[in-house]
Amino acid sequence: MSYYILIGAILLVSWLVSNKLKSKFKKYSKVHLQNGMSGAEIARKMLADHHITDVEVISTPGRLTDHYHPTKKTVNLSESVYNQRNAAAAAVAAHEVGHAVQHAKAYKWLEMRSQLVPIVSVASQFSQWVIFGGLILMGMVSVGVGQAVLLAGIIMFGMGTLFSFITLPVEYDASNRALAWLKDRNIVTAEEYKGSEDALKWAARTYVVAAIGSLATLLYFLSIYLGRD
């Protein structure tokens, strides 16, 4: 029962932060840029100002699907961000280019996260199945075998938790780079800057909630293992 309460609380906080993020982006999507630049134009200018010539800015389907692809070296902007000319689009476009700048400068946290991607992509798919498999084995077959399987699942889940915490400095640094550039280059007015800053602040909080939720779940499974050991 305690596990379901924990998951319920995490899901509730995640939903509240996600809704707040959507409302903030909706609000700042109405703050139109005085310079008239689109998200795509802002992204390309930021790349040029940082002397990055091997990264392409492209449009990708969906909403809030914006991301930087380090292997393909593309800044992928959702259709609304790519085309729109407002504070929210400016914030997102500059943030994603912030990741490209990190890549170009070999930012250590981004490199560490990139190295974990292959491991985490596999571990995240199977960790919970392995954990529950271990619990079943402990109750029905063998406590010793079940404990070993449970520990394996916990280690796999822990890789995902580690990844979520390494993601935090990566995201915050990208936002700081974006905001510094927007301000230093006078891309946005004072009002537009405040909107961009607020939007990125709430976007970062979604990663914080995800990391805390992952840690809480990991500690819960670890407590089960230690309690049975």
The catalytic residue positions are 96
- Reduced 3-state DSSP string for the chain: CHHHHHHHHHHHHHHHHHHHHHHHHHHHCCCECCCCCCHHHHHHHHHHHCCCCCCEEEEECCCCCCEEECCCCEEEEEHHHHHCCEHHHHHHHHHHHHHHHHHHCCCHHHHHHHHHHHHHHHHHHHHHHHHHHHHHHHHHCCHHHHHHHHHHHHHHHHHHHHHHHHHHHHHHHHHHHHHHHHHHCCCCCHHHHHHHHHHHHHHHHHHHHHHHHHHHHHHHHHHHHHHHC
